[in-house]
Amino acid sequence: MKPETIVKDTLDEWAAEARIPRDLAGRALRRRTRRRSFKVALAGGSTALLVGAASVAIVSGGGSARPRPMEPALQPVALSSDTTLRTDQDSAFPRRLVAAGHMAVAAYYTHRVRSINGQPTAQRTWHLYNPSTGTYEQAPWAFISVAPGMNQAAVLQGPLPASRVGVLDMKTRRVTRWIPVDHPVGGVDWSPDGRRLLLTSYNKNPDILGNPGESSRTGYYVVNSMAERGAFHPMPALGDNVNHRQDLGWSRDGKLIWAPTATMPAKLFYSPDGRRQPAPPHEADYEDHEAGLSPNGTLLPQFGPKPGPAVTVTNVVTGKKVAVLPIEQAEAWADDKQLFATGCDPKKCTGKGEFRNRLLLVTLRGKITPLTGYRRSDREGAWIPVFTRR
């Protein structure tokens, strides 16, 4: 089901009920952001409400406005060679690190809908991995993006949109520097190499659940590793996209940025300075699966066949079917042969049973390893994983 249909139906229900429904988040936010945004894992699918852009002044950690012109804003990323399987199978909300292959759950959040100034607004509660303790700890930020290597995170203070972005040391839990912006931002995304930030600007909170097609996106910044202050690039929201949050994201190689659509192609690509570019091969061909292309760029998961739950993995080079997996959603690639996935209890995975699910690791041969305990993904407060290269 397309997101515009879901949002329209949900708004019709609000009008009929004349109150904020108890399960509003589970009904209105079932379409997810690609690379760190709202999502609820469902058998029927999810889309991108997508992530943000940045290029601005780098300042000292205490919030003073004195620039450090020759000091790198973002430190080079040190990636781990650790591919140890880490699970927390007894926890409905993960407490210990969950990881497999080259990827890990770097953070997770829950969301609840609250009426703020008379407007239904989705609010996140974040839990961020602490490398010093090996556990997830609740964090006070309104939005978080974790850099590859899982040593630092970009954070936004609430209420959104924020007038500055913090670079957080994940071990000490201290902000090492602040990046002020003239155009407030509501979304942040690290580049694949961990040396740049993409910040999406909005003129009001992008998580207010107003009328479809009323996104307040205004543009973006890109912060480079040695930048003092980058230019703001105007990029208003796409009129045919009904999502309020329309964060920008990076291409797989980090050379381009993209904006989400509500149709196919699922993404429109641009150079970092805002010029339209052709889409890299197969990167605009999917919208429903968070995982996207495999690390080697050859495999793509897609829903089906019916009645499911089932996901088919296809080789995009040869067109051949590689595997049909008994899962609801492909979340992220651990490596070229394993996927993080959402799956329900195989004995009860019909009707409402599809919403009692948990995070799994599944191989292309169909071997399934549970990673966490079960959750109810159709209810407010369900946790939503954020994956990062470890």
Element (H, E) at 57: none
Short-list 97, 280, 257, 279, CA closest to 190:
257
Distance separating alpha carbons of residues 240 and 258, to the nearest angstrom: 16
Residues pairing with 202 in the sheet: 217
My answer on whether omega of the bond before 234 falls inside 30° of 0, hence cis, is: no
Residues pairing with 142 in the sheet: none
Task: Identify the pLDDT of residue 74.
Answer: 55
Residues in the chain: 390
Task: Identify the pLDDT of residue 31.
Answer: 37
Task: Identify the pLDDT of residue 81.
Answer: 86
CA dist 319 → 59, 248, 300, 322 (Å) = 50, 29, 10, 9
Beta pairing class for 375-376 and 233-234:
unpaired
CA dist 373 → 25, 152, 295, 338, 369 (Å) = 21, 27, 27, 19, 12
CA angle 137, 138, 140 (to 5 degrees): 135
Domains of the chain by residue range: 3-288+382-389
Distance separating alpha carbons of residues 204 and 202, to the nearest angstrom: 5
CA dist 31 → 26, 47, 155, 336 (Å) = 10, 5, 23, 26
| Residues in the chain, pLDDT under 50 | 1-73
Short-list 220, 173, 31, 212, CA closest to 111:
31
DSSP 59: B
Instruction: With H, G, I as helix, E, B as strand and everything else as coil, classify residue 7.
Output: helix
Q: What is the 3-state secondary structure (H, E, C) of 23-39?
A: CHHHHHCCCCCCCCCCC
Distance separating alpha carbons of residues 225 and 137, to the nearest angstrom: 28
Distance separating alpha carbons of residues 325 and 152, to the nearest angstrom: 34
Beta pairing class for 356-363 and 321-325:
unpaired
Q: What is the distance in angstroms between the CA of the first residue and the CA of the last residue of the chain?
A: 33
Q: Two tokens at 71?
A: 């000091």
Task: Identify the pLDDT of residue 308.
Answer: 81
Task: Identify the pLDDT of residue 289.
Answer: 56
The answer to pTM > 0.75 is yes
Mean pLDDT of the chain: 82
The residue type of 182 is D
Task: Identify the pLDDT of residue 230.
Answer: 75
What is the sign of the dihedral through the CA atoms of 94, 99, 100 and 102? Answer: positive
CB contact at 8 A, 33 and 46: no
Short-list 340, 350, 338, CA closest to 384:
340
